[in-house]
Structure 1
Amino acid sequence: MEENFTDLSVRWGLYSYVQRLGAQVATVRDKATAISTVASYGAFVALRDQLLATGIECQLVAKEIISFCGSWQWSERSSRYNEIISQFWLDAGRQPVELHTALAQRITEETERITQAERELRELVSAAANLTSAAYGIRLQAVVLWLTVISVIVAVVALVVAL
């Protein structure tokens, strides 16, 4: 009996982890939205660091979770206690709920959704960073142009004074 609760706890822990990962991706998305108005270097570095950590979890750990949900270990070990017969479900004329099968399906769907959202967010942040870099580059070009004009004027004045 204890092994059954351990298996269920592990699976429920994976489900909770996927939920936390979804909240983490949402937090990064909110920070990216906030940065869009204040595009400072420090803000982009902080966002990059958080996006990198979230990306590692989404791309690596989430794929392992999906793999585990579809593995024989998930289905074989849960077959002993998969059906949970709820009187409510039976009274409604529905079939018994297969908890572990439904949990595996929900974890897989949620993990795929979160991974896709993280990938899209990473692409958007990358595009925003590139546009911000281009804007700073244009601004820097304008400053360099004015410094060049001032340098030429100073050189002409120095040449006129020297003659």
Structure 2
Amino acid sequence: MRRKSFINPRDGRVTVAVWASGWIESIDVGPLSDVEYRRRLKNQILPQWGSVPVGDISPTAVAAWEKALLRGRISKNYADGVVGIFRTMMDDAVSEGLRRDNPVAARKSGRRGRFQSQRPEKKIIATPRQALLVARNALEMRGLNEYAIVLTSAYTGLRIGELAAVHRDQLALKDE
């Protein structure tokens, strides 16, 4: 209590099914994600954990369950999604003071809730002088072909695969 990390043992007696019913209503996800979360709760999480108190879930039991999921008839990607939902649920249980720690092992992705696209970084566009300097560097290091590829790429916007597909007989160059 002095450390202000006291977890009331009665709070941890709430079953996963009871916690899940309130939790699913509190999360903010898109409509398709909401349907998928509910489906995964109903089909995978609640049959295994529904009657278990939130405070009694152990990391070993979760690891065994995850292993059993992977042995079942579901794909690894789907199993990872199910475990991810359960992990998020347990993170929120920790935040609510139902548990001290999350029994579901953390993964590298920490994304939650609605998808928010990253703002595209501002594109850096080379000036004609900078393009010429890079092309000259390519000329010195690799020869005339790379010089031509760098300049063509800089002035046309073609990617390397597109440049590689261009042949001399496909070009209609006018020297006016």
Q: TM-score, normalised by structure 1?
A: 0.29
Determine which structure has greater relative contact order: mean sequence separation of CA pairs < 8 Å that are 6+ residues apart, divided by chain length: 1
More helix by share: 1
